[in-house]
A and B are shown apart, each in its own frame.
Chain A
Amino acid sequence: MRNLLIFITKYSAFFLFLIFEGIALYVFINYNDFQRASFINTSNELTGNLYRNISNVNDYLKLKEINDSLARQNALLRNQLMSSLYIDTAGHRKVNDSVYKQQYTYIEARVINNSVNKRMNYITINKGSLNGIGKGMGVIADGGVVGIVMQASPHFSVIRSLLHKDTRISAMLANSKEGGSFMWAEDMDPHKGLLYDVANSAQPHLGDTVVTDQHSLFPIGVQLGRVSNLKPKTGGFFLNMEVKLSVDFSKLEYVYVINNKFAQEQQGLEALQKDE
């Protein structure tokens, strides 16, 4: 027994190393599981509030750019107003609209923490479960898809950015409706993505728009980017193409979280299928 104690004290560094390395790796591997919650991230009160304060200062410095983008969006929305359209049919009558039922609602939020230079990037926003945000909801910005909500605390949420090695989004070419999968390119360029597993029969052209398709958790037709390079990366059965992202992640300010009102119903139905 005494010898054992002497042995342990003599090599204390090694044993301490094993213990703490074990703990660290355990925490790391468990967090990668999408399902599990953890408090060591930017959705907790301390780090979240710190980042919010810093972002308040940053926003002040970026006021001009934000104003420009808001003005642009205002103009766009104004164009769609009824009052800015010229009515060319004489008998205009009001239709009581019972055909449509609202499926998606949008919650706007401000980005308070963001990064683009890691292999796994996360975004923190200033709205949380109190505003109706929940795990698994899609997030978009002005130009297109931003990511998926990974975790929501009462006042903050952490989003797994599109710029993350594990993010996959079901997408299609807007013109030909050819489906494929979308992921971030491996060379970590924050402006480029990869559309892969597109059927060989597709004939993509440079500049084609890539949008989300009906299998994704986003509404159909949210833009991801434009095809910028057609060189096939592998000589497999499927086509790959490079996509220039439509969202500039390094300048992300405001995002919209999508609440799909039918998500629960759909998941419940699909779960029933699995049980059988």
Chain B
Amino acid sequence: MSRVIFANFIRFVVLVFIQAFLLKNITVYDLAVPYPYILFVMLLPFETPNILLFPLAFLIGLSVDAFYDTPGLHAAATVLLAFVRVLFISITVQKDGFDNDPEPTLGGMGFRWFFTYSAVLTLVHHFILFNLEVFRLSEMEYTLSRFLMSSVFTVFLMLITGLLFFRKKRA
């Protein structure tokens, strides 16, 4: 248990640092901006209680906000992300029948499940993020293309990270 808490704490710090200092000024063709810090919320263990999940999502959103000078923007998007995560897991994963507690990782759940999971969650998060940031219908077309390209970039980074820390589930 303490190992899980420690691992998640390290993940939190590392992801916020990478987001704030490395990825902040990376843009591809003025369109794609990656936000892979949401990996933290995605990789929390399945049995995380809701009462803990939402404050954690809020906290990492606010931490990124502090570095991006946009208080509340990322927090709002990550809280929504946490909610979609609860819905997605309740639909696709059976609660009982786990022998050794699995984690929602690439190695633990397989490529197909993890790809759908990260793609759906990233799309929801980025959609809210970009539209809340611009908050103008007149720029919809451009915002949508930024949202799509950024989602592709983020999911790509997530899958690469997943492969980097790939651990096959022992049968």
Contact = CB atoms under 8 A, between A and B. Distances in A.
Contact of B58 (A24, A28, A250): A24
B134 interface: yes
B80 A21 contact: yes
A77 interface: no
Contacts of B54: 13, 16-17, 19-20
Contact of A31 (B24, B71, B86): B71
Task: Tell me which of A16, A114, A158 has the highest count of chain B C-beta atoms within 10 A of its own C-beta.
Answer: A16
Contact of B134 (A12, A31, A119): A119
Interface stretch (A40-48, A66-74, A221-229, A261-269): A40-48
B25 A165 contact: no
Contact of A38 (B51, B71, B82): B71
A1 to B, nearest CB: 20
Contact of A24 (B51, B76, B87, B142): B76
Interface string B23-45: 01111001001000000000000
B72 A188 contact: no
Interface string A248-272: 0010000000000000000000000
A13 B50 contact: yes
Interface string A181-214: 0000011111000000000000000000000000
Given A23-B58, A118-B133, A40 B50 contact: no
B7 interface: no
Contact of A28 (B27, B82, B87, B132): B132
Contacts of A27: 71-72, 75
B66 A44 contact: yes
A117 B27 contact: yes
B6 interface: no
Contact of B142 (A23, A41, A186): A186
A42 B66 CA distance: 6
Interface residues of B, number: 42
A25 interface: yes
Given A28-B72, A54-B21, A187-B142, A119 B66 contact: no
A114 B61 CA distance: 20
B124 interface: no
Nearest to A123: B69
A165 B134 contact: yes
Contacts of A26: 72
B132 to A, nearest CB: 7
Contacts of B142: 186-188
Task: Tell me which of B24, B72, B87 has the highest count of chain A C-beta atoms within 10 A of its own C-beta.
Answer: B72
Contacts of B116: none
A118 B33 contact: yes
B156 to A, nearest CB: 17
Interface of A: 12-14, 16-17, 19-21, 23-31, 38, 40-42, 44, 46-47, 50-51, 54, 114-120, 122, 124, 158, 165, 186-190, 250
Interface of B: 20-21, 24-27, 30, 33, 50-51, 53-55, 57-58, 61-62, 65-73, 75-76, 79-80, 82-83, 86-87, 132-134, 136, 138-139, 142, 146
Q: Which 8 A-B pairs have the closest CB atoms?
A: A28-B72, A27-B72, A24-B76, A24-B75, A117-B27, A122-B69, A40-B71, A17-B83
18 contacts: A13-B87, A14-B83, A17-B79, A20-B55, A20-B75, A21-B76, A23-B58, A25-B72, A25-B76, A27-B75, A28-B70, A38-B71, A41-B65, A116-B27, A118-B68, A120-B70, A186-B142, A187-B30
